[in-house]
Chain A
Amino acid sequence: MTVMQHTAHGSRALIDFSPQATSLEVRDFGLRYGDKTALSNLTLRVPRHRVTAFIGPSGCGKSTLLRALNRLHDLNETVTREGSIHLEGQDIHASSMVVAELRRRVGMVFQVPNPFPMSIYDNVAFGLRLQGHLPKRQVDDVVEWALQSAALWDEVKDRLRASAWSLSGGQQQRLVIARTLAVGPEVLLLDEPASALDPISSLKVEELIRNLKSTLTLVLVTHNMQQAARVSDYTAFLQDGELVEYGPTDTLFTNPRLARTENYITGRMA
């Protein structure tokens, strides 16, 4: 993989992955809530089968960007956007793109675990069943595989019929990840997935993220600098709706090119 760094527009930095290594590409993307600008003129490429972290102060737009990647903003009528986002070279806003299909390919895990009020099994099978009737054996197999991939199988295999709400917070978050994996996404978006969890559960989720990148492209939004440094391969620093600096995590944390980045990182890590 060729990694080049260059400065395109003033202070904005971006890494250019070759198109073959790029999973998601954001081009000149901007987004407004009503007349309030949340993101402006963003361009970046997310590499395939790597963990990319978005960091930045509260309100910088990193969650907004994440939610733009699977068009969750569609529900909000006040949102207007410009620019484009491409998944494997395909414009996600194109009329040929079915939004439900996009979201199946780009799964998302939220900050607070949100299992449905159903059994553990039904939660994992939820997305599968949306795609039509499948033989029960096949569903069983996928459920087991997904729970194993999310490192939850051993804890819940004896109580798949129990309510998902009876699990602990950390288990619920891994269940939600399993639920997302079950539909076979290419990209997994994680919106501060460990911030509502205790340190042990948090570490388990991080370990899971590292394991998943062999098959998935992961995008992680986090407030936790150490977490970003521990799990991500690339890090993008956003501030005030703009991409400030984007580069390999090691470089960005040890040797940021811009003073704004350094201030943020050291201020938070001190």
Chain B
Amino acid sequence: MREQASTPGDALATQEGRPAVASRRGRSPRGEGPWAWLAAGSVATSLALLALLLGLLAVRGLGHFWPADVALVTLDDGRQLAGRAVKEAPLPDQEGRERLYRVGNRDLDGDIWEWVALERIQGIARPADLVVLERRRWGEFMGRLVAIESASGERLVGDAAWPALKERLAVLEDARQQIARLRQETLPPLVRRVEGGQASPEERAALASAQAQLAARQAALPGDTLVLKSVGGRSLRQPLTEVVRALQPNDMGPVEKLVSWGQGVWRFLSEGPRAANSAGGVWPAIFGTVLMVVLMSIFVMPFGVLAAVYLNEVAHQGRLIRWVRIGVRNLAGVPSIVYGVFGLGVFVYGIGGRLDTWFFEASLPSPTFGTGGLLWASLTLALLTLPVVIVATEEGLARIPASQREGALALGATRAEMLGRVVLPMTLPAMLTGVILAVARAAGEVAPLMLVGVAKLAPQVPVDGEFPYLHLERKFMHLGHHIFDSAFHGSDVQATLPLIYATALLLVVVILVLNLTAIFLRHYLRGRHGTRPTY
């Protein structure tokens, strides 16, 4: 079975004395068999699944902030409802389909959802005067604004009411921000000083004046009342201070809607949560996640690198070290909750409890470090990711060619100088690879954190203007735990679902950003030294 005689194999086969062997190569033009297709197929499948995941999160999560039109639905019995269509499903017992509307008005109807059989719908309109109010309590209101009454008894009706509402909301927002600043930045350090008994008279005076200022501002909030009417005809008097945002979605152009969407996303990113984590933003959780991961990296780097240097460079490579190495690699596979239990027992109760009796006796029995907190959570996760960093660094060290080490030694470097000046700098990219893997693992962990420091609600971020500025003993919020909490502990998960999607997307993006930072750093370090790739 000879192929064309021009292939090198055949040229060889014709050599004298060599047994003739027909080349079986080259049947397919580039030598690719089914393996190439299989490999390419699995890559494509993985990529498709990843794109699907991100797409789902993005559409479901980010779509929530889009001020979609509100439909005014007229039913066959003349009843009307205003809401946004969410999904459709077949009717349970008969032919036909029904549609789910999110109608809001929990305070009026007891529920924010309404199923409507499609055949009962007589007409759908989008009148421009429908308003959507985001409120601190009871969620959204959808209906019409009848009037706005000020505390002094002034009453604006009809077309004048809406511009007045927008204007007063802006005033209210300003006042709210000032109050928040007082509450979160000015007051807490003073309160803590006074409660701790360390305050000077000036500080006591400052606290009193700040408290008075707060009371005054709160009293000065606009006392307007909105007179609202649902499309079903029920009336409602709504204090303005409860309103967060007011929109007339049917009256907005695409640009206005885009601006409103951007504002919605920004509020989600920059504000704290409201209504038992079922609404509002996730800023404390973003901050907590990033801070915890950064602290974790700071803790894990030196330990992991030193351990790897010892294992690879210092220790006698005997049987004991082999077992230690196997042990370290296996630690990477221990379920994370086990680390959580360890952290709780050793860090929180053991070390934390000891610290409390030594240094914070004054505030006992309420614990300072003897309860979960940022420090213990970071340390627990550092422990969890330590094997990853050790393994990556060890592999990096092993890849440094012997010629580099000998080159340094031959110039009169001691072993420590060789390590510090040649080997470790060359291993930096590998160490960063370890950190990238550690970050990827740590940022997504929730289970151990629930034992050692994450809080359902901790709107105050652990960094502020009060000495020592970084409060390692405080509990913190975490995006992963936030998802878990709002998905399983909310009263109406269906209503929170878009926010859960948005939070999940955010968690993925945060991890991506953290990783990209490390990857760019690694790329920079590789590029700085030259063009020859050795690792």
Contacts and interface: CB of A to CB of B under 8 A. Distances in A.
B403 interface: yes
A130 B534 CA distance: 25
Contact of B406 (A114, A115, A165, A183): A114
Contacts of A77: 316
B326 interface: no
Contacts, number: 71
A114 B407 contact: yes
B530 A117 contact: yes
A163 B412 contact: no
Contacts of A103: 409-412
A70 interface: yes
Interface stretch (B117-125, B156-164, B264-272, B418-426): B418-426
B414 interface: yes
Contacts of B534: 117
Contact of A163 (B404, B413, B422, B529): B529
B430 to A, nearest CB: 13
Interface stretch (A9-17, A54-62, A105-113, A258-266): A105-113
A46 B409 CA distance: 23
Nearest to B404: A114
Nearest to B426: A117
A179 B401 contact: no
B532 interface: yes
A77 B529 CA distance: 32
A126 B410 CA distance: 11
Range of interface residues on chain A?
20 to 34
Nearest to A71: B409
Given A72-B409, A126-B421, A165-B530, A116 B404 contact: yes
A109 B401 CA distance: 15
Main SS at interface, chain B? helix
A164 B426 CA distance: 14
A75 interface: yes
Interface in A183-208: 183
A127 interface: yes
Contact of B411 (A107, A112, A117, A163): A107
A150 interface: no
Contacts of B316: 77
Nearest to A67: B406
B161 to A, nearest CB: 71
Contacts of B514: none
A176 interface: yes
B410 A163 contact: no
Given A117-B530, A118-B529, A110 B411 contact: no
18 contacts: A75-B409, A77-B316, A103-B410, A107-B410, A107-B411, A108-B410, A110-B410, A112-B403, A116-B407, A126-B408, A126-B411, A126-B421, A130-B413, A164-B530, A165-B531, A165-B532, A183-B411, A183-B412
Please give me the 6 A-B residue pairs with the lowest Cβ-Cβ distance, nearest first: A165-B530, A104-B412, A117-B529, A163-B530, A127-B411, A114-B403
